[in-house]
Structure 1
């Protein structure tokens, strides 16, 4: 390893003065922090300060300036709706899910607020993170005799394990715009963070932690962490190594099956009940009543245990508007169509949701969660899994825990550690303190670059070769760097690939990055392949030659895919390599002047 890389590696291992973690969730956001003690000792979960989570809600002014975040944003927006001034403001809730759902992400992509107005997503995320960061710093300084500067803090932001590389990069870019230093910023995977915290609580016999959790972290044990959040549910599968570090056995997987799915099902039920025309008019004309109605359901949903009726005050607007539009009473509609199904009742102005209906609403999420775990258990290498750890805010619902336990009874130990939501935050702080706790990751896709290769009749079947620099070559080739399901040692470089650049006339070389669900794709236009970004490599000005060889490695650094590049014929010269997953422009790769051997 050359001196520059060794210095960088040592710097990344240096313990910071403090670690601050932000769990920026779909539904709620919280933070936690830890100060390095005067006399060094290993960090423990109980040493970490955690702040109560608040709604991930942002209110921006008509001029797109920050107004409020969390409960303050919700309260101010309700007041604006009463005064009929809300349409001028930008109100964002559950906006994190855009990074999961939108097919293509870029720095300048727009998202819609509650009333359909568009704003640049980067602005919304930046303002939200900036507010939380500043409040966190204020809280940290309030507990110290002297101020702590931002440069002394290692910042950690949690992200779903199933996020694409572009979504991770987007979140990191927003955090940097919010004032967090790039060199002091780490991304932590949510289920992985929870596992780190649960492992610590078990080994330190934290009160309330079941003995079965301790067994799950014995060397050689395999377990699934099921992170049930507000927007997504994702899983990671670990094996505990003899040194206590964790080895990933299967690439992160999951889907948009979090607590929001229950809310969406409830909204659709109300829409079906009164009719979409009346319901959508209600949301637009009487936004304050809708927000109150939805908020009441969210509060009751969290406390629902699976047996009791849920009673909500039904919006007066819907009762009166239904009579005007349909020409008969909503109560009569219930008598005719809903009471006989015993799903819900309307008594005066109270909507009573029966357990039958509530179980139906939850099933939209829990059925998908159980099916996902079944799919994982079908894989040969995961047959020895013994335990499921349920974490995340949605896991604090007794319905979710009971449904998963019932489905896998007599097959797997299903454990919901106490305070499953805060486990992610505490684990994120611990990961920020020591990123070496994760030793091995599994590659979720085959990654490679778009280039030109020397023609091989056995490999490039159907392709027509052409002459280039005295060789027969083929265009549009997928040159593999990492293979799907490959186990990658975190922080260690993989075997480099050699590229030959001919007649270069600029200081930057670039290749288009592709991923594939196949192990050995040959061409980038195959069905399994998709273009995900650009690899840009800056060649130092001291290198004057127009024809050069370049060695490129792709590997896992922490939770992100990274690249390194160096020139084998120029000892001690390292190039700056950057993987840009937000740049999916149609620019051709430098394959026009390069090829792989």
Structure 2
């Protein structure tokens, strides 16, 4: 982080988004996003404004300052756009304003987007041309939408920083380093999508760092463990292992770590997770109501009475947060508009409609509009989620049976649910289950802290097998005929998978994996090679044989090295490629290095020699890339009419590799 005057972290959650920032001289002084008088959204300010105070909550002792202009530290990542694509409202205000527009039937000219982050998780084939749909089914560029949201939050953060320091001119946007949180289980394409969106939003690519949400929560927990004076907090030491489970609104994200010396940690199991976060409970509640009133009625209610739908779900959210294993029932007041639609459709009273439901013994209608839901029915809303979480935790322990893991740490807003915590503690009784304090803010604060940490703070496990496509002499009894091809008079098999990284292999920053292809036996004076290619693939299988879909392979990138357009008397070049492709894994970002000449220009060395560089064309499928490309020249080749092709004198042992032709 060279020339870093400030660091901004954006926690881009499925259900909520927020930002915080800090300045390098005081890394532990974290500024949170809370509204102040004059909020752009016009919302009421948060009651607590602990300006300049130090909060010691038993989990982390950090100086927290509330200065920025959001109504809460985290708000829903919802956008309401005007017809011209500009932002009309953001967050809770966007939800409320759109709901009012629906009531007045004036919403047609607006574009409403919610739950957009889940679409990245659900889309396995993201491209730069991918599109999302708004509430009316109209499409918009996914990349453009995300960049618009990041740009909006980024501007709020920069404005807040300027107001925080005494001299506004000291905030230079080019000196700000940005951290974006992402789920650990996201695909390569979703991660690259976030990088591209941030770049589209105007953040320099070299000033962006993506951090995994469970790891950010772990950093926050570790910091609190080290600084807290609370004797009730168990302090783990070097060598201890733990599971960190980030239970969010949309996703459940689980990592397993071992504490290493120097505040570092090692991943013991590849990241695991699913989409059974807190929103799945809401979905189960909705499915139950659809069973009661019918799918048809619910769709009409959602489309025409969106304001009432929002009120209903917010009411359920309050009860969901309070529900625990001791709760006997909850009471939900249904909107009169929903009841009226249901009665008109069924031509019956709402009480009779409910009595016809299979679960009627657990549901009672009181005062015509209130549903009394017994404990059993509410637990059924939680069941798929908590069962899925416990199943994943159990599977992890089985797969790590040779490793003693006794500590489970819960983070994320969904972990604040008493029922979820109690259920997990009961089912995972053999483990010491603890919370990260401030579950909803742990990832955000941890992202700030992690942004100041070196990139080699963690050793990770590869989620895929990585390998290069190579060619070998074709063998009739072994190789498939569809991969057979001819080159320079030889019969070869293409797309043979040359594995360089195993799935689940432990990887450290700086680890290097090489594969070299050398055309030593090719007769270059006879065959004038115009290009050389290299392709990298990943696979979901442990030992793929070929770079094909049948072997679970997806192209990560391909490169083609071409000769200059016109070099030499006949306009072609006999190129001998001593091609060495180096894979360096840094935080699961693959850095691809071609040991060849890369600029696409000619430079005069003297009157007799022109240095000609090769042209490199790199094709990176957006759906697969999670990498950075570094194309570095290693040798210089010269064309001289008197001597033909030679290497630069710095590589004298290779001088006069070619003679005139």
Pairwise TM-score range, normalised by the shorter structure? 0.7 to 0.9
Residues in 2 aligned to 1:433 and 1:201: alpha-carbon distance in whole angstroms: 16
Residues in 2 aligned to 1:326 and 1:569: alpha-carbon distance in whole angstroms: 72
The unaligned stretches of length 5 or more in structure 2 are 31-59, 67-71, 520-526, 568-572, 600-612, 626-661
Greater CA drift, 321-330 or 46-55: 46-55
Q: Does 1:582 align with 2:626?
A: no
Residues in 1 aligned to 2:333 and 2:533: alpha-carbon distance in whole angstroms: 59
The correspondence of residues 339-488 of structure 1 with structure 2, limited to 5 A, is: 340-343=360-363, 345-380=365-400, 383-409=403-429, 411-436=430-455, 438-455=457-474, 460=479, 467-469=486-488, 472-488=491-507
Equivalent residue for 2:54?
Answer: none
Equivalent residue for 2:103?
Answer: 82
Residues in 2 aligned to 1:15 and 1:389: alpha-carbon distance in whole angstroms: 35
- Match 1:560 to one of 555, 565, 589: 589
Q: Does 1:300 align with 2:319?
A: yes
Residues in 1 aligned to 2:269 and 2:16: alpha-carbon distance in whole angstroms: 28
Equivalent residue of 2:25, what SS?
Answer: coil
Equivalent residue of 1:523, what SS?
Answer: coil
Bigger radius of gyration among the two: 2
Equivalent residue of 1:378, what SS?
Answer: helix
Equivalent residue for 1:173?
Answer: 196
Q: Does 1:270 align with 2:289?
A: yes
- Match 1:223 to one of 242, 249, 258: 242
- Match 2:207 to one of 165, 181, 184: 184
Residues in 2 aligned to 1:569 and 1:111: alpha-carbon distance in whole angstroms: 37
Residues in 2 aligned to 1:28 and 1:86: alpha-carbon distance in whole angstroms: 24
The alpha carbon displacement at 1:440 in A equals: 1.2
Residues in 2 aligned to 1:201 and 1:494: alpha-carbon distance in whole angstroms: 35
Residues in 2 aligned to 1:457 and 1:15: alpha-carbon distance in whole angstroms: 59
Equivalent residue for 1:28?
Answer: 16
Equivalent residue for 1:337?
Answer: 357
Residues in 2 aligned to 1:154 and 1:48: alpha-carbon distance in whole angstroms: 20
Residues in 2 aligned to 1:295 and 1:64: alpha-carbon distance in whole angstroms: 28
The alpha carbon displacement at 1:86 in A equals: 1.6
- Match 1:116 to one of 133, 137, 145: 137
Q: Per-residue CA shift, 1:139-177, capped at 9, x if unaligned?
A: 111110123111111100000000011000001111111
- Match 1:531 to one of 512, 537, 554: 554
TM-score, normalization by structure 2 = 0.78
Report if aligned partners of 2:474, 2:491 keep a CA contact under 8 Å in 1.
yes
Residues in 1 aligned to 2:147 and 2:260: alpha-carbon distance in whole angstroms: 38
> Alpha carbons of 1:423 and 1:521: their partners in 2 closer, same or farther (altered >3 Å)?
same
Equivalent residue for 2:342?
Answer: 322
> Alpha carbons of 1:28 and 1:312: their partners in 2 closer, same or farther (altered >3 Å)?
same
> Alpha carbons of 1:536 and 1:121: their partners in 2 closer, same or farther (altered >3 Å)?
same
Q: Does 1:140 align with 2:161?
A: yes
Equivalent residue for 2:114?
Answer: 93
Equivalent residue of 2:622, what SS?
Answer: coil
Report if aligned partners of 2:11, 2:444 keep a CA contact under 8 Å in 1.
yes
Equivalent residue of 1:168, what SS?
Answer: helix
The alpha carbon displacement at 1:349 in A equals: 1.4
Report if aligned partners of 1:59, 1:66 keep a CA contact under 8 Å in 2.
yes
Residues in 2 aligned to 1:322 and 1:560: alpha-carbon distance in whole angstroms: 53
Q: Per-residue CA shift, 1:478-508, capped at 9, x if unaligned?
A: 2223211111112x042211134795546xx
Equivalent residue of 1:16, what SS?
Answer: coil
The alpha carbon displacement at 1:336 in A equals: 4.2
> Alpha carbons of 1:390 and 1:584: their partners in 2 closer, same or farther (altered >3 Å)?
closer
Equivalent residue of 2:160, what SS?
Answer: helix
Equivalent residue of 1:496, what SS?
Answer: strand
Equivalent residue for 2:77?
Answer: 56
Report if aligned partners of 2:125, 2:623 keep a CA contact under 8 Å in 1.
no
How many residue pairs get aligned? The number is 562
Report if aligned partners of 1:503, 1:547 keep a CA contact under 8 Å in 2.
no
> Alpha carbons of 1:347 and 1:478: their partners in 2 closer, same or farther (altered >3 Å)?
farther
Equivalent residue of 2:108, what SS?
Answer: helix
Equivalent residue for 1:313?
Answer: 333
Report if aligned partners of 2:407, 2:432 keep a CA contact under 8 Å in 1.
yes
**Aligned CA-pair RMSD:** 3.1
The alpha carbon displacement at 1:449 in A equals: 3.3
Equivalent residue of 2:62, what SS?
Answer: helix
- Higher normalized helix content (fraction of residues): 1
Report if aligned partners of 2:597, 2:614 keep a CA contact under 8 Å in 1.
no
Equivalent residue for 2:48?
Answer: none
Q: Does 1:193 align with 2:213?
A: no
Equivalent residue for 2:6?
Answer: 18
> Alpha carbons of 1:583 and 1:263: their partners in 2 closer, same or farther (altered >3 Å)?
closer
The alpha carbon displacement at 1:225 in A equals: 0.8
> Alpha carbons of 1:583 and 1:165: their partners in 2 closer, same or farther (altered >3 Å)?
closer
The alpha carbon displacement at 1:56 in A equals: 1.1
The alpha carbon displacement at 1:49 in A equals: 5.2
> Alpha carbons of 1:549 and 1:97: their partners in 2 closer, same or farther (altered >3 Å)?
same
Report if aligned partners of 2:124, 2:189 keep a CA contact under 8 Å in 1.
no
Greater CA drift, 450-459 or 195-204: 450-459
The unaligned stretches of length 5 or more in structure 1 are 1-11, 586-597
TM-score, normalization by structure 1 = 0.86
Equivalent residue of 1:494, what SS?
Answer: strand
Residues in 2 aligned to 1:514 and 1:32: alpha-carbon distance in whole angstroms: 37
Residues in 2 aligned to 1:20 and 1:462: alpha-carbon distance in whole angstroms: 54
> Alpha carbons of 1:189 and 1:210: their partners in 2 closer, same or farther (altered >3 Å)?
farther
Equivalent residue of 1:67, what SS?
Answer: strand
> Alpha carbons of 1:504 and 1:77: their partners in 2 closer, same or farther (altered >3 Å)?
farther
Equivalent residue of 1:100, what SS?
Answer: helix
Equivalent residue for 1:73?
Answer: 94
Report if aligned partners of 1:194, 1:424 keep a CA contact under 8 Å in 2.
yes
Equivalent residue for 1:496?
Answer: 514
